[in-house]
Amino acid sequence: MNSLESPHNLEQSAPSTEESSFGEVLRQFEAEHKSVEGPETAIEGTVLSISDDGVVVGVGRKMEGVFRGDLSSLPAGLAPGAKLPVHITGKTEDGYYSLSTIHVEKARDFSGLQAAFDGKVPISGTVKEQVKGGLRVEVADGVVAFLPASRSGVREMSDLQKLVGQSIECRITKLDIANPERPDVVVDRRGILEEQATVAKQQAFETLQADVVVDGRVRSLTDFGAFVEILPGIDGLLHVTDMSWQRVEKPADVLTVGQRLQVKILKINRESRKISLGLKQLTPDPWAQALENLKQGDRVRGKVVRLAEFGAFVEIAPGVDGLIHLSEMSWTKRVRKPSDILQLDDVVDVVILDIKKDDKRIGLGLKQALGNPWDTVESRFAPGTVVEVPVTSVAQFGAFVDLGDGIEGMIHVADITREKRIQHAKEALSPGQVVKAVVLEVDKDKRRIRLSMKQLEPTSADVFISEHTVGETLMGRVIEVHGNVAKIELAEGVHSRCKTKEEATSQAATAQASDVQDLAALLSNRWKGAGGASAPEGIKPGQIRSFKITAIDAPNKRIDIEIAE
């Protein structure tokens, strides 16, 4: 019968070459699959792709591996083609190897669990299901532990279900095996993730270098700046002074939370782990251009951007401020605070007084742009000029008046009035009162202008002159006699000089000699006049005589008379 066996039986008794090849493949796959379930050393993997679902890594086998869930343990700046050591911890439902950067071994019995608990050694576990308050995790054959939701490492409860079926690393925080049939085991995954994140954060921090431009996201704003996340878990401080070349009052005026931007790493303190960032450093420094174009003596226009106790800051170019010191604000006023002259947002013309390139400081002058009003006082307020001005202040010695452009003049107490003698200027004047005065003296160097009010008041001589004419005869009293000249009182406070005949003759001869330029005649007449001079006949002090007005000089308040015949 052996020779008559059917083909079917033969096929069963003698496997074909194809079946033999399939069996070999199956045995090889089982061998590889078995090898990934037990302890092994790290494998060098190659990153194939990165997406929101995870990181796919080639591990040199027929299946790729994948990182899913919390990726904080991965190195910063990971990109396709990068090499990294990985450990295979299991398989996913969609046919990938589950990978980890930390190799852990799944405990096989209570002794292994006890050793892991005592040594706080991470172990591997498989999430079986979600239960009230957390997850059930198989940590050994037949041993299921409880993973509280708060220690699961997920931020949202909705993400808890995503861990079901995954192999995770965890640490035993409670182990009670008094009842072997129902052991009480509690595990923690969050601590493992935090440790991995710390290691990854440290590794990422070490890769950072100063003067490098990085991408960041504004995480929070404060009064003094903004904290920008430049790597997962790594923030840098962008100080308000480094946000813009122009002055920034509040960070919120420039940035918003969640905003993405590029920043430059200015400084890294490895010990304190503090990072200083800059935003304005990515744009040209306006000071460099300004210092090339500006020079001392230039007249520029700017806006008042800040007031300080010592002066005002004026923006003369975008991001370039200059300082007007209090002493450079006015030629005439004593400025106690900037707001006496300027207000915020005022647009003013200024003159550049000095430039300190190394310190990036520019000194400005406001008064220099306005011009010094004292330069023209001699022409505007020449002696004899009559002004009508307000009184600004009074003191015992006199009163100050406003002449305009911040220039003040002073009226001495003795120059206020002729009517009476006053001891204090307030007896006649008060602040705000408008007065009429004449300029007596101008001292440009000492910046003093003296005025008088009484000079404009009519005198006894003015009244007398207005009431009499040349040729008029009137009575007068002889006050004193000196040689050939007598002083005569014509009215109260009005005095005149009486000419003798000899003096009149001498003056006439002098005039004649001057006309014909006869110097000899002039000297002869003067000699004769001097030799023959004598007091008017019969004139003595105290006498009352009749006199005739011969000349009146109203501007100089002068009256000439002679004895009436």
**36-50, 77-91, 252-266: which has the highest mean pLDDT?**
252-266
Q: Which pLDDT tens digit goes with each residue over 54-108?
A: 888 898 887 888 887 666 667 767 788 888 888 777 777 777 887 877 655 555 5
Coil vs helix vs strand at 286: helix
How does the average pLDDT of the chain come out, rounded?
80
C-alpha distances in Å from residue 252, one per residue of 77, 220, 264, 275: 30, 10, 20, 21
Q: Contact, 86 vs 100, CB < 8 A?
A: yes
Q: Which pLDDT tens digit goes with each residue over 190-219?
A: 999 888 888 888 888 888 889 999 999 999
Q: Which pLDDT tens digit goes with each residue over 472-489?
A: 888 889 888 887 888 888
pLDDT at 466: 82
Q: Quote the CA–CA distance of 338 and 366 in Å, as a whole number.
A: 11
pLDDT at 519: 41
Q: Which pLDDT tens digit goes with each residue over 362-392?
A: 999 998 888 788 888 888 888 989 999 999 9
Residue 41: burial class (beta carbons within 10 Å; 0-12, 13-18, 19+) = exposed
pLDDT at 538: 67
Of the two residues 350 and 406, the one the predictor is more confident about is 350
pLDDT at 34 over 60: no
pLDDT at 124 over 70: yes
| Average pLDDT estimate for 279-284 | 89
pLDDT at 19 over 70: no
Bridge-based pairing state of the strands 485-491 and 448-452: unpaired
pLDDT at 69: 65
**Full set of structural domains in the chain with CATH:** 37-100 (2.40.50.140), 110-197 (2.40.50.140), 208-282 (2.40.50.140), 286-369 (2.40.50.140), 373-456 (2.40.50.140), 460-563 (2.40.50.140)
pLDDT at 107: 54
Coil vs helix vs strand at 340: helix
Q: Contact, 508 vs 500, CB < 8 A?
A: no
C-alpha distances in Å from residue 179, one per residue of 110, 141, 185: 12, 16, 11
pLDDT at 67: 81
Give the up-direction half-sphere exposure of residue 430: CA atoms within 13 A in the CB hemisphere: 1
Q: What is the pTM of this model?
A: 0.44
Q: Which pLDDT tens digit goes with each residue over 142-201?
A: 789 999 999 998 888 888 898 998 889 999 999 988 887 788 999 999 999 888 888 888
- Which regions of 189-252 does DSSP assign to beta strands (E)? 213-221, 225-231, 234-239
pLDDT at 525: 46
Q: Quote the CA–CA distance of 66 and 62 in Å, as a whole number.
A: 13
Q: Which pLDDT tens digit goes with each residue over 415-458?
A: 888 778 888 988 889 999 999 999 999 998 888 999 999 888 77
pLDDT at 158: 85
Q: Which pLDDT tens digit goes with each residue over 4-13?
A: 333 333 333 3
**Which residue's structure tokens are 């023209």?**
376
